[in-house]
Structure 1
Amino acid sequence: MARKYPPVALSTGRNSLLGLALAALVLACPALQAAESEAADAATALKPYNADYKTSARGMTVTLERELKSDGDGNYTLTNGGKLLVVGFHEVALFRIQEGQVKPKSYIYQGTGLINRRREVHFTPGADTVRSLYKDEWYELPYTEGTLDRLSQQEQLRLHLLNTEDPRQDIQIRVADGKRVKDYTLVFRGDEIVETPLGPVNTLHFERPHDDSERESDIWIAPEWDYLMVKTVHVEDGKPVEILLSEATIAGDRVEVAAVAPDA
């Protein structure tokens, strides 16, 4: 039976005197600095996880299953998929992590049932192009350092937030998708508590602005759970699609939330 992941603390206070004293001690001792560096490297690695999400649109609800696997040598496999009656999809991204960055290898999306659609993106080390399959036609897209696919970008987002000193900043992302390479910004909108089937969760809220006023995209991420995605909302033509975390395990530990602490 999986162990419970450490509960989310729903209150944030200033550094204690003890914490400041420990920080001063670390700065004064090279041996402790080295130990802290090793601990930081371990803490910022992407831990394998399983997560179930409920997605709702047009009165229908579907469970999406997402899983991140690691071979322990820097190689990762991320899968995502779901099915409703005779329509479903499955997608998989293969990537490595080098020098704190996601290095994508390939991405494949396969529709199942009535919508038998396939998309692929393949990255070749050292090449200046990316091969992309879209609507049964292959395209050569320009590659620059940091270009991702539409699935691995989500793990790069987590990796960035795990490594940055200040996660409350706007984030630039470049994705090879379909017939073109897309650049966009995730704009930080604030700290928010999101209600989930697991309970209330502390999150960071980011928004992806669109040129089209009829489109909206927002994502909420939990810092206490290695920046796991908790919720997304996408609106197009006035029709919202919401994805909400229902359960998850990280490195085999089940995530859970703690009771909201009363104000002091």
Structure 2
Amino acid sequence: MASDYRIPASPTNRTSTGPQRSLARGIALLAGVFFGLAPLLASAVDNLRPYTAEYNTSALGMHLTLHRELKSDGDGGYTLTNGGKILVAGFHEVAVFSVRDGEVIPKSYVYQGTGLINRRREVHITPGADTLRSLYKGEWYELPNKPGTLDRLSQQEHLRLLMLSDPNPRDDLVITVADGRKIKDYNIEFVGEEMVETALGPVKTLHFARLHDDPDRTSEIWVAPDWDYLMVKTVHVEDDRPVEVLLTKASIDGVPVATGDE
């Protein structure tokens, strides 16, 4: 099994205001806040191919490179890392989980912001336990461990599992995520098939959107069927400020992806 991965806490504690706060919030949204998935209903896939990926991200006219890597221990355990840094802000996050019967079984999640987004979040889940532990704004919370509950990062790997297990992955979804002080259920709808222009060329994708109660907020994701449903693009809009993440390069099992892959 994958071992716990701990991110050292940041030694500074800054409070940002105005445009800096907006930028910090925008970059924080790049930390895998999109969605997780309910247990699989189709024939289960019990392994994920490791990958590395880089994404160009933008918020308020500023850009950074986001690095993501999924590692496997070869025995059903995985470690997923994700992060990026700009002059005034950055973040790094790690999820440790396993895969069993076509489901992600989350173990731990740690998010550490730096600079203007100096904040820390953690989620620790013991399979079969009635509660889970969540760190939010310096306080620990005991939350109900509902079946299928995922953390903010490993949820995206559960998306890949669902797609890999379903020959026609276009169903609307209801998902459960441990986020801060709450366990949240999200509604996800399939939008359609789309070609997305990337630095690698045009990529065939499936487009999904999360439904928000606030009509001024939108969250969307595009995944590539030809690349094990790797995330190609995400867009989040809040307070009229879009944050976009777009794939620039990736490799799966050490083999670089390219447009036209079968």
Equivalent residues of 1:44, 1:162 under 8 A apart: no
User: How well do the aligned residues superpose, as a CA RMSD in angstroms?
Assistant: 1.5
User: AA paired with 2:250?
Assistant: A
User: What is aligned with 1:170?
Assistant: 172
In the alignment, structure 1 segments of 5+ residues that lack a partner are 1-39, 260-264
User: AA paired with 1:249?
Assistant: S
CA shift, 1:44, in A, is 6.5
Partners of 1:115 and 1:216 in 2: how far apart?
Answer: 22
Alignment of 1:1-264 (within 5 A): 45-258=47-260
1:12-69 Cα offsets, whole Å, 9 max, x none, are xxxxxxxxxxxxxxxxxxxxxxxxxxxx98x862100000000011111110000000
CA shift, 1:111, in A, is 0.9
CA shift, 1:165, in A, is 2.8
Structure index of larger Rg: 1
1:121-173 Cα offsets, whole Å, 9 max, x none, are 00012211110000000001111211000001000011011001320111221
Partners of 1:252 and 1:121 in 2: how far apart?
Answer: 30
Equivalent residues of 2:51, 2:69 under 8 A apart: yes
1:235-257 Cα offsets, whole Å, 9 max, x none, are 00111110000000000000001
**Alpha carbons of structure 1 residues 200 and 44: separation in structure 2 relative to 1, 3 Å:** farther
Greater percentage in helix: 1
**Alpha carbons of structure 1 residues 44 and 195: separation in structure 2 relative to 1, 3 Å:** farther
User: AA paired with 2:141?
Assistant: Y
1:59-112 Cα offsets, whole Å, 9 max, x none, are 111100000000000000000000001421100000000111000000000012
CA shift, 1:222, in A, is 0.2
Q: Match of 1:217, SS?
A: strand
Task: Count matched residues.
Answer: 219
**Alpha carbons of structure 1 residues 75 and 44: separation in structure 2 relative to 1, 3 Å:** closer
Partners of 2:90 and 2:220 in 1: how far apart?
Answer: 23
Equivalent residues of 2:53, 2:249 under 8 A apart: yes
Aligned-pair identity (%): 67
Equivalent residues of 2:54, 2:66 under 8 A apart: yes
Partners of 2:181 and 2:46 in 1: how far apart?
Answer: 33
CA shift, 1:229, in A, is 0.3
User: AA paired with 1:96?
Assistant: S
Equivalent residues of 1:44, 1:163 under 8 A apart: no
In the alignment, structure 2 segments of 5+ residues that lack a partner are 1-42
